[in-house]
Structure 1
Protein backbone atom coordinates (compact mmCIF):
# COMPACT_ATOMS: atom_id res chain seq x y z
CA UNK A 1 0.00 0.00 0.00
CA UNK A 2 1.56 3.34 -1.03
CA UNK A 3 2.08 5.78 1.85
CA UNK A 4 0.74 8.68 -0.21
CA UNK A 5 -1.90 9.18 -2.89
CA UNK A 6 -0.74 8.79 -6.47
CA UNK A 7 -0.01 12.15 -8.07
CA UNK A 8 -2.06 13.33 -11.01
CA UNK A 9 -0.27 13.25 -14.35
CA UNK A 10 1.94 16.31 -14.71
CA UNK A 11 1.49 17.41 -11.08
CA UNK A 12 4.42 18.52 -8.93
CA UNK A 13 4.22 16.13 -5.99
CA UNK A 14 7.59 15.90 -4.17
CA UNK A 15 8.83 13.92 -1.21
CA UNK A 16 12.12 13.92 0.70
CA UNK A 17 14.50 10.98 0.51
CA UNK A 18 17.05 10.27 3.25
CA UNK A 19 19.54 7.39 3.01
CA UNK A 20 20.89 6.55 6.44
CA UNK A 21 23.57 4.35 7.95
CA UNK A 22 24.06 4.73 11.71
CA UNK A 23 23.30 8.47 11.99
CA UNK A 24 20.96 8.02 14.94
CA UNK A 25 21.85 11.34 16.61
CA UNK A 26 20.83 13.62 13.72
CA UNK A 27 18.04 11.84 11.85
CA UNK A 28 15.16 12.93 14.07
CA UNK A 29 15.94 16.64 13.73
CA UNK A 30 16.41 16.26 9.96
CA UNK A 31 13.03 14.56 9.58
CA UNK A 32 11.33 17.15 11.80
CA UNK A 33 12.77 20.00 9.73
CA UNK A 34 11.60 18.40 6.48
CA UNK A 35 8.13 17.79 7.87
CA UNK A 36 8.00 21.45 8.93
CA UNK A 37 8.29 22.29 5.22
CA UNK A 38 5.35 19.99 4.49
CA UNK A 39 7.34 17.23 2.81
CA UNK A 40 6.48 13.55 3.26
CA UNK A 41 9.67 11.62 3.95
CA UNK A 42 11.10 8.34 2.69
CA UNK A 43 13.93 7.01 4.89
CA UNK A 44 16.05 4.16 3.57
CA UNK A 45 17.91 2.37 6.36
CA UNK A 46 21.02 0.87 4.78
CA UNK A 47 21.59 -1.88 7.34
CA UNK A 48 22.08 0.36 10.38
CA UNK A 49 22.92 -0.85 13.88
CA UNK A 50 20.32 -1.70 16.51
CA UNK A 51 20.43 1.71 18.20
CA UNK A 52 19.73 3.51 14.92
CA UNK A 53 16.96 1.07 14.01
CA UNK A 54 15.24 1.85 17.30
CA UNK A 55 15.34 5.60 16.58
CA UNK A 56 14.00 5.05 13.06
CA UNK A 57 11.13 2.89 14.29
CA UNK A 58 10.01 5.80 16.45
CA UNK A 59 9.88 8.17 13.47
CA UNK A 60 7.49 6.15 11.34
CA UNK A 61 4.13 7.85 10.75
CA UNK A 62 1.60 8.23 7.93
CA UNK A 63 3.94 10.84 6.39
CA UNK A 64 7.25 9.14 7.19
CA UNK A 65 7.90 5.84 5.46
CA UNK A 66 10.81 3.58 6.47
CA UNK A 67 12.40 1.18 3.99
CA UNK A 68 14.75 -1.22 5.72
CA UNK A 69 17.61 -2.92 3.86
CA UNK A 70 18.86 -5.90 5.84
CA UNK A 71 22.52 -5.50 4.87
CA UNK A 72 24.65 -2.42 4.30
CA UNK A 73 24.91 -2.16 0.52
CA UNK A 74 26.09 1.43 0.11
CA UNK A 75 24.65 4.90 -0.34
CA UNK A 76 23.89 4.38 -4.01
CA UNK A 77 21.91 1.22 -3.39
CA UNK A 78 19.92 2.94 -0.65
CA UNK A 79 19.12 5.97 -2.81
CA UNK A 80 18.14 3.79 -5.76
CA UNK A 81 15.74 1.83 -3.54
CA UNK A 82 14.23 5.07 -2.27
CA UNK A 83 13.85 6.63 -5.72
CA UNK A 84 12.01 3.59 -7.04
CA UNK A 85 9.77 3.45 -3.96
CA UNK A 86 8.95 7.16 -4.30
CA UNK A 87 8.14 6.74 -7.99
CA UNK A 88 5.94 3.72 -7.26
CA UNK A 89 4.10 5.67 -4.54
CA UNK A 90 3.16 8.31 -7.10
CA UNK A 91 5.61 11.10 -6.29
CA UNK A 92 6.91 13.23 -9.15
CA UNK A 93 10.17 14.35 -7.48
CA UNK A 94 12.44 13.25 -4.63
CA UNK A 95 14.59 15.67 -2.65
CA UNK A 96 17.69 13.74 -1.63
CA UNK A 97 19.26 15.02 1.60
CA UNK A 98 21.88 13.55 3.93
CA UNK A 99 21.01 12.27 7.39
CA UNK A 100 24.06 13.74 9.13
CA UNK A 101 23.08 17.41 9.28
CA UNK A 102 25.48 18.61 6.54
CA UNK A 103 22.74 20.18 4.44
CA UNK A 104 20.83 23.37 5.15
CA UNK A 105 17.18 22.34 5.47
CA UNK A 106 16.22 26.03 5.32
CA UNK A 107 16.93 25.81 1.58
CA UNK A 108 14.19 23.21 1.00
CA UNK A 109 11.71 25.86 -0.27
CA UNK A 110 14.29 27.06 -2.79
CA UNK A 111 14.79 23.53 -4.17
CA UNK A 112 11.04 23.02 -4.38
CA UNK A 113 10.48 26.36 -6.09
CA UNK A 114 13.11 25.50 -8.73
CA UNK A 115 11.56 22.07 -9.23
CA UNK A 116 8.06 23.49 -9.56
CA UNK A 117 9.27 26.05 -12.12
CA UNK A 118 11.36 23.51 -14.06
CA UNK A 119 9.81 20.07 -13.41
CA UNK A 120 11.93 18.27 -16.02
CA UNK A 121 15.23 19.49 -14.55
CA UNK A 122 17.68 17.97 -12.09
CA UNK A 123 18.15 20.57 -9.33
CA UNK A 124 21.65 20.15 -7.89
CA UNK A 125 23.06 21.71 -4.76
CA UNK A 126 26.22 23.75 -5.38
CA UNK A 127 28.00 23.74 -2.01
CA UNK A 128 29.09 26.86 -0.21
CA UNK A 129 31.53 25.63 2.43
CA UNK A 130 32.66 27.17 5.68
CA UNK A 131 35.91 26.47 7.53
CA UNK A 132 34.66 23.06 8.70
CA UNK A 133 35.32 21.41 5.33
CA UNK A 134 38.40 19.12 5.26
CA UNK A 135 40.89 20.63 2.81
CA UNK A 136 41.76 17.26 1.23
CA UNK A 137 38.08 16.60 0.49
CA UNK A 138 37.61 20.12 -0.90
CA UNK A 139 40.57 20.03 -3.29
CA UNK A 140 39.87 16.45 -4.31
CA UNK A 141 36.43 17.46 -5.56
CA UNK A 142 37.98 19.61 -8.27
CA UNK A 143 39.45 16.53 -9.94
CA UNK A 144 35.94 15.12 -10.24
CA UNK A 145 34.58 18.48 -11.45
CA UNK A 146 37.05 18.51 -14.35
CA UNK A 147 36.29 14.89 -15.22
CA UNK A 148 32.54 15.60 -15.25
CA UNK A 149 32.99 18.62 -17.51
CA UNK A 150 34.84 16.34 -19.94
CA UNK A 151 32.28 13.54 -19.60
CA UNK A 152 29.39 15.88 -20.39
CA UNK A 153 31.30 18.24 -22.72
CA UNK A 154 29.77 21.11 -20.78
CA UNK A 155 29.97 23.17 -17.60
CA UNK A 156 26.30 22.45 -16.97
CA UNK A 157 26.94 20.64 -13.66
CA UNK A 158 28.86 22.74 -11.13
CA UNK A 159 29.22 20.07 -8.44
CA UNK A 160 28.45 16.40 -9.06
CA UNK A 161 29.26 15.12 -5.57
CA UNK A 162 26.80 17.09 -3.46
CA UNK A 163 24.10 14.78 -2.10
CA UNK A 164 21.53 17.57 -1.81
CA UNK A 165 19.44 17.53 -4.98
CA UNK A 166 15.93 17.28 -6.36
CA UNK A 167 15.40 14.40 -8.81
CA UNK A 168 12.69 14.31 -11.47
CA UNK A 169 11.56 10.74 -10.85
CA UNK A 170 10.24 9.83 -14.28
CA UNK A 171 13.57 10.43 -16.03
CA UNK A 172 15.72 9.21 -13.14
CA UNK A 173 13.88 5.90 -12.70
CA UNK A 174 13.87 5.39 -16.47
CA UNK A 175 17.66 5.63 -16.35
CA UNK A 176 17.79 3.21 -13.42
CA UNK A 177 15.61 0.80 -15.40
CA UNK A 178 17.92 1.15 -18.42
CA UNK A 179 21.11 0.20 -16.56
CA UNK A 180 22.01 -0.23 -12.86
CA UNK A 181 23.69 2.65 -11.06
CA UNK A 182 26.66 2.34 -8.68
CA UNK A 183 25.90 1.06 -5.19
CA UNK A 184 28.27 3.27 -3.20
CA UNK A 185 29.75 6.79 -3.07
CA UNK A 186 30.19 6.99 -6.85
CA UNK A 187 26.39 7.08 -7.26
CA UNK A 188 25.88 10.86 -7.03
CA UNK A 189 28.30 11.67 -9.83
CA UNK A 190 27.33 8.88 -12.20
CA UNK A 191 23.58 9.43 -11.97
CA UNK A 192 24.03 13.15 -12.71
CA UNK A 193 26.26 12.50 -15.73
CA UNK A 194 23.92 9.87 -17.10
CA UNK A 195 20.90 12.14 -16.68
CA UNK A 196 22.72 14.85 -18.64
CA UNK A 197 23.49 12.28 -21.34
CA UNK A 198 19.78 11.51 -21.33
CA UNK A 199 19.01 15.15 -22.09
CA UNK A 200 17.79 16.17 -18.63
CA UNK A 201 18.49 19.88 -17.99
CA UNK A 202 20.37 20.90 -14.84
CA UNK A 203 19.90 23.81 -12.45
CA UNK A 204 22.63 24.55 -9.89
CA UNK A 205 21.44 25.95 -6.58
CA UNK A 206 24.06 27.45 -4.21
CA UNK A 207 23.52 26.08 -0.71
CA UNK A 208 25.45 26.08 2.55
CA UNK A 209 27.14 22.78 3.46
CA UNK A 210 28.85 22.13 6.79
CA UNK A 211 30.88 19.27 8.20
CA UNK A 212 29.51 18.78 11.74
CA UNK A 213 32.04 18.50 14.55
CA UNK A 214 32.61 14.81 15.35
CA UNK A 215 30.42 13.95 12.36
CA UNK A 216 30.27 10.36 11.15
CA UNK A 217 31.53 9.96 7.57
CA UNK A 218 31.25 6.71 5.63
CA UNK A 219 33.61 7.81 2.85
CA UNK A 220 36.45 5.27 2.61
CA UNK A 221 39.48 7.15 1.31
CA UNK A 222 41.08 4.20 -0.52
CA UNK A 223 38.18 2.06 -1.67
CA UNK A 224 35.83 4.90 -2.61
CA UNK A 225 38.54 6.80 -4.48
CA UNK A 226 39.32 3.63 -6.45
CA UNK A 227 35.63 3.26 -7.29
CA UNK A 228 35.42 6.89 -8.34
CA UNK A 229 38.50 6.52 -10.56
CA UNK A 230 36.99 3.45 -12.24
CA UNK A 231 33.70 5.33 -12.68
CA UNK A 232 35.41 8.25 -14.44
CA UNK A 233 37.23 5.88 -16.77
CA UNK A 234 33.92 4.25 -17.67
CA UNK A 235 32.13 7.59 -18.12
CA UNK A 236 34.90 9.10 -20.24
CA UNK A 237 34.65 6.10 -22.58
CA UNK A 238 30.88 6.52 -22.63
CA UNK A 239 31.29 10.18 -23.54
CA UNK A 240 33.29 9.27 -26.64
CA UNK A 241 30.34 7.26 -27.95
CA UNK A 242 27.94 10.11 -27.20
CA UNK A 243 30.18 13.02 -28.24
CA UNK A 244 28.30 13.85 -31.48
CA UNK A 245 24.97 14.11 -29.65
CA UNK A 246 26.47 16.08 -26.75
CA UNK A 247 28.14 18.53 -29.10
CA UNK A 248 24.93 18.93 -31.10
CA UNK A 249 22.99 19.72 -27.92
CA UNK A 250 25.66 22.19 -26.83
CA UNK A 251 25.46 23.96 -30.18
CA UNK A 252 21.66 24.01 -29.95
CA UNK A 253 21.82 25.57 -26.46
CA UNK A 254 24.29 28.20 -27.68
CA UNK A 255 22.05 29.07 -30.60
CA UNK A 256 19.05 29.40 -28.27
CA UNK A 257 21.00 31.65 -25.85
CA UNK A 258 23.35 33.84 -27.91
CA UNK A 259 25.87 35.93 -26.04
Structure 2
Protein backbone atom coordinates (compact mmCIF):
# COMPACT_ATOMS: atom_id res chain seq x y z
CA UNK A 1 0.00 0.00 0.00
CA UNK A 2 1.35 3.42 -0.96
CA UNK A 3 0.60 6.86 0.43
CA UNK A 4 -0.39 9.77 -1.81
CA UNK A 5 -1.19 13.42 -1.25
CA UNK A 6 -1.73 16.49 -3.40
CA UNK A 7 0.61 19.43 -2.89
CA UNK A 8 -1.26 22.72 -2.39
CA UNK A 9 0.26 26.08 -1.50
CA UNK A 10 -2.02 28.62 0.17
CA UNK A 11 -1.82 32.40 0.27
CA UNK A 12 -3.96 34.65 2.47
CA UNK A 13 -5.78 31.55 3.67
CA UNK A 14 -6.89 30.55 0.15
CA UNK A 15 -5.63 27.84 -2.23
CA UNK A 16 -2.99 29.46 -4.44
CA UNK A 17 -0.93 26.86 -6.29
CA UNK A 18 -2.60 23.49 -6.80
CA UNK A 19 -1.36 20.68 -9.01
CA UNK A 20 -4.18 21.31 -11.52
CA UNK A 21 -3.30 25.00 -11.72
CA UNK A 22 0.37 24.11 -12.19
CA UNK A 23 -0.63 21.89 -15.12
CA UNK A 24 -2.62 24.82 -16.54
CA UNK A 25 0.34 27.19 -16.23
CA UNK A 26 2.62 24.72 -18.01
CA UNK A 27 0.03 24.37 -20.77
CA UNK A 28 -0.24 28.17 -21.13
CA UNK A 29 3.55 28.32 -21.39
CA UNK A 30 3.47 25.66 -24.11
CA UNK A 31 0.54 26.90 -26.20
CA UNK A 32 0.42 30.65 -25.45
CA UNK A 33 -3.36 30.44 -25.28
CA UNK A 34 -5.85 29.99 -22.45
CA UNK A 35 -8.33 28.12 -24.63
CA UNK A 36 -5.73 25.67 -25.95
CA UNK A 37 -4.27 25.23 -22.45
CA UNK A 38 -7.73 24.54 -21.00
CA UNK A 39 -8.35 21.79 -23.57
CA UNK A 40 -4.94 20.22 -22.88
CA UNK A 41 -5.36 20.03 -19.07
CA UNK A 42 -8.41 19.50 -19.49
CA UNK A 43 -10.83 22.00 -17.93
CA UNK A 44 -13.45 24.40 -19.16
CA UNK A 45 -12.38 27.75 -20.59
CA UNK A 46 -14.35 29.50 -17.82
CA UNK A 47 -12.64 27.45 -15.08
CA UNK A 48 -9.23 28.17 -16.61
CA UNK A 49 -9.78 31.92 -16.58
CA UNK A 50 -11.17 31.81 -13.04
CA UNK A 51 -8.05 29.92 -11.93
CA UNK A 52 -5.76 32.45 -13.64
CA UNK A 53 -7.66 35.40 -12.14
CA UNK A 54 -7.48 33.84 -8.67
CA UNK A 55 -3.72 33.23 -8.92
CA UNK A 56 -3.06 36.73 -10.22
CA UNK A 57 -5.21 38.34 -7.51
CA UNK A 58 -3.49 36.43 -4.69
CA UNK A 59 0.03 36.84 -6.05
CA UNK A 60 2.17 39.92 -5.23
CA UNK A 61 3.09 40.02 -8.94
CA UNK A 62 1.17 38.87 -12.05
CA UNK A 63 1.76 35.23 -12.99
CA UNK A 64 -0.10 35.24 -16.30
CA UNK A 65 -0.20 38.18 -18.70
CA UNK A 66 -2.49 38.68 -21.67
CA UNK A 67 -1.00 40.32 -24.74
CA UNK A 68 -3.07 41.96 -27.47
CA UNK A 69 -2.25 42.87 -31.06
CA UNK A 70 0.58 41.56 -33.20
CA UNK A 71 0.35 39.46 -36.35
CA UNK A 72 -1.18 36.54 -34.44
CA UNK A 73 -3.68 38.70 -32.59
CA UNK A 74 -1.96 38.47 -29.23
CA UNK A 75 -1.93 35.65 -26.71
CA UNK A 76 -1.31 34.64 -23.11
CA UNK A 77 2.13 34.30 -21.54
CA UNK A 78 3.66 33.32 -18.24
CA UNK A 79 5.56 36.20 -16.65
CA UNK A 80 9.14 35.93 -15.40
CA UNK A 81 7.71 35.82 -11.86
CA UNK A 82 5.37 33.01 -12.92
CA UNK A 83 8.20 31.00 -14.44
CA UNK A 84 10.14 31.26 -11.19
CA UNK A 85 7.08 30.05 -9.27
CA UNK A 86 6.89 27.01 -11.55
CA UNK A 87 10.54 26.21 -10.81
CA UNK A 88 10.02 26.64 -7.06
CA UNK A 89 6.91 24.47 -7.10
CA UNK A 90 8.83 21.73 -8.95
CA UNK A 91 11.43 21.71 -6.17
CA UNK A 92 8.74 21.51 -3.48
CA UNK A 93 6.95 18.76 -5.42
CA UNK A 94 10.14 16.70 -5.59
CA UNK A 95 10.66 17.02 -1.82
CA UNK A 96 6.99 16.27 -1.19
CA UNK A 97 7.23 13.07 -3.28
CA UNK A 98 10.42 12.05 -1.50
CA UNK A 99 8.75 12.57 1.89
CA UNK A 100 5.76 10.41 0.92
CA UNK A 101 8.05 7.68 -0.39
CA UNK A 102 10.00 7.64 2.87
CA UNK A 103 6.76 7.71 4.88
CA UNK A 104 5.45 4.73 2.91
CA UNK A 105 8.64 2.80 3.71
CA UNK A 106 8.12 3.37 7.43
CA UNK A 107 4.39 2.69 7.46
CA UNK A 108 2.31 -0.47 7.26
CA UNK A 109 -1.23 0.82 7.58
CA UNK A 110 -2.77 -2.66 7.31
CA UNK A 111 -0.95 -4.07 10.33
CA UNK A 112 -0.76 -0.78 12.20
CA UNK A 113 3.03 -0.93 12.34
CA UNK A 114 4.60 2.50 12.08
CA UNK A 115 8.20 1.49 12.77
CA UNK A 116 10.40 4.50 13.61
CA UNK A 117 8.17 7.10 12.01
CA UNK A 118 9.30 9.75 14.49
CA UNK A 119 12.63 9.94 12.66
CA UNK A 120 10.95 11.98 9.90
CA UNK A 121 10.57 14.89 12.28
CA UNK A 122 13.97 14.48 13.92
CA UNK A 123 16.36 17.42 14.00
CA UNK A 124 20.11 17.03 14.44
CA UNK A 125 22.66 19.13 16.26
CA UNK A 126 25.33 19.13 13.53
CA UNK A 127 25.73 22.76 12.47
CA UNK A 128 26.84 22.12 8.88
CA UNK A 129 24.20 20.74 6.51
CA UNK A 130 25.15 21.42 2.89
CA UNK A 131 23.23 20.42 -0.22
CA UNK A 132 25.30 18.49 -2.78
CA UNK A 133 24.89 16.38 -5.90
CA UNK A 134 26.08 12.78 -6.02
CA UNK A 135 28.66 12.53 -8.81
CA UNK A 136 29.50 8.86 -8.33
CA UNK A 137 29.34 6.01 -5.81
CA UNK A 138 32.48 3.89 -5.44
CA UNK A 139 31.73 0.70 -3.51
CA UNK A 140 34.43 -1.11 -1.52
CA UNK A 141 34.30 -4.21 0.70
CA UNK A 142 32.60 -2.58 3.69
CA UNK A 143 32.42 1.13 2.94
CA UNK A 144 31.59 3.25 -0.07
CA UNK A 145 33.04 6.53 -1.29
CA UNK A 146 30.39 9.06 -2.24
CA UNK A 147 31.82 11.69 -4.59
CA UNK A 148 29.87 14.92 -4.17
CA UNK A 149 29.64 18.24 -5.99
CA UNK A 150 28.59 21.49 -4.32
CA UNK A 151 26.45 24.16 -5.98
CA UNK A 152 29.68 26.11 -6.55
CA UNK A 153 31.10 23.18 -8.53
CA UNK A 154 33.71 22.28 -5.88
CA UNK A 155 33.96 18.56 -5.11
CA UNK A 156 34.60 16.46 -2.01
CA UNK A 157 34.19 12.88 -0.77
CA UNK A 158 32.18 11.20 1.98
CA UNK A 159 32.89 7.67 3.21
CA UNK A 160 29.90 5.77 4.63
CA UNK A 161 29.02 2.09 4.88
CA UNK A 162 27.70 0.15 1.89
CA UNK A 163 24.69 -0.72 4.05
CA UNK A 164 23.91 2.99 4.46
CA UNK A 165 24.16 3.50 0.70
CA UNK A 166 21.64 0.71 0.16
CA UNK A 167 19.29 1.89 2.92
CA UNK A 168 19.26 5.46 1.56
CA UNK A 169 19.16 4.32 -2.09
CA UNK A 170 22.00 6.68 -2.94
CA UNK A 171 22.64 6.94 -6.68
CA UNK A 172 24.38 9.22 -9.15
CA UNK A 173 22.78 12.62 -9.90
CA UNK A 174 20.73 12.60 -6.69
CA UNK A 175 20.63 15.62 -4.42
CA UNK A 176 21.66 14.81 -0.85
CA UNK A 177 22.67 16.66 2.30
CA UNK A 178 26.25 16.46 3.55
CA UNK A 179 26.23 16.70 7.37
CA UNK A 180 29.23 17.31 9.61
CA UNK A 181 30.03 18.95 12.94
CA UNK A 182 31.70 22.34 13.12
CA UNK A 183 34.42 20.80 15.32
CA UNK A 184 35.32 18.46 12.42
CA UNK A 185 36.04 21.38 10.08
CA UNK A 186 39.72 22.36 9.78
CA UNK A 187 40.88 25.60 8.22
CA UNK A 188 44.17 26.19 6.42
CA UNK A 189 45.70 29.13 4.64
CA UNK A 190 45.65 28.72 0.87
CA UNK A 191 49.43 28.89 0.80
CA UNK A 192 49.59 25.66 2.85
CA UNK A 193 50.01 23.04 0.12
CA UNK A 194 50.01 19.98 2.37
CA UNK A 195 46.22 19.90 2.74
CA UNK A 196 44.72 18.19 -0.32
CA UNK A 197 42.00 15.77 0.83
CA UNK A 198 38.49 17.25 0.66
CA UNK A 199 39.84 20.76 0.22
CA UNK A 200 37.11 23.35 -0.38
CA UNK A 201 38.16 26.94 -0.95
CA UNK A 202 36.26 29.84 0.56
CA UNK A 203 36.40 33.28 2.14
CA UNK A 204 35.90 34.04 5.83
CA UNK A 205 32.85 36.27 6.14
CA UNK A 206 32.19 36.22 9.89
CA UNK A 207 34.13 35.53 13.10
CA UNK A 208 32.68 35.28 16.61
CA UNK A 209 34.89 34.76 19.67
CA UNK A 210 34.63 34.15 23.37
CA UNK A 211 37.46 33.66 25.86
CA UNK A 212 38.44 30.22 24.54
CA UNK A 213 36.85 29.43 21.19
CA UNK A 214 36.16 31.09 17.88
CA UNK A 215 33.34 30.35 15.45
CA UNK A 216 34.46 31.03 11.87
CA UNK A 217 31.91 31.18 9.07
CA UNK A 218 33.29 30.57 5.58
CA UNK A 219 31.51 31.44 2.33
CA UNK A 220 32.21 28.59 -0.13
CA UNK A 221 30.19 30.03 -3.02
CA UNK A 222 26.60 30.10 -4.29
CA UNK A 223 25.21 31.16 -0.89
CA UNK A 224 26.65 28.09 0.88
CA UNK A 225 28.55 28.53 4.14
CA UNK A 226 30.55 26.19 6.37
CA UNK A 227 31.14 26.85 10.06
CA UNK A 228 34.32 25.85 11.90
CA UNK A 229 34.90 26.08 15.65
CA UNK A 230 38.52 26.33 16.78
CA UNK A 231 40.55 27.57 19.76
CA UNK A 232 41.12 31.32 19.75
CA UNK A 233 44.89 30.87 19.84
CA UNK A 234 44.74 28.79 16.62
CA UNK A 235 42.78 31.57 14.95
CA UNK A 236 45.37 34.12 16.02
CA UNK A 237 48.27 31.94 14.87
CA UNK A 238 46.71 31.69 11.41
CA UNK A 239 46.08 35.45 11.42
CA UNK A 240 42.59 34.89 10.08
CA UNK A 241 40.30 37.87 9.62
CA UNK A 242 37.03 38.51 7.86
CA UNK A 243 37.85 38.50 4.17
CA UNK A 244 40.72 35.99 4.48
CA UNK A 245 40.91 33.27 1.81
CA UNK A 246 41.05 29.78 3.32
CA UNK A 247 40.86 26.12 2.47
CA UNK A 248 38.25 24.11 4.37
CA UNK A 249 39.15 20.49 5.15
CA UNK A 250 36.70 17.85 6.36
CA UNK A 251 37.83 14.23 6.63
CA UNK A 252 35.74 11.93 4.46
CA UNK A 253 34.79 9.74 7.45
CA UNK A 254 33.39 12.78 9.28
CA UNK A 255 30.83 13.56 6.58
CA UNK A 256 27.42 11.91 7.00
CA UNK A 257 24.84 11.77 4.22
CA UNK A 258 21.16 12.60 4.60
CA UNK A 259 18.22 12.49 2.19
The answer, yes or no, to whether TM exceeds 0.5 is no
Higher strand share: 2
Higher helix share: 1
Name the TM-score class by shorter chain: under 0.3
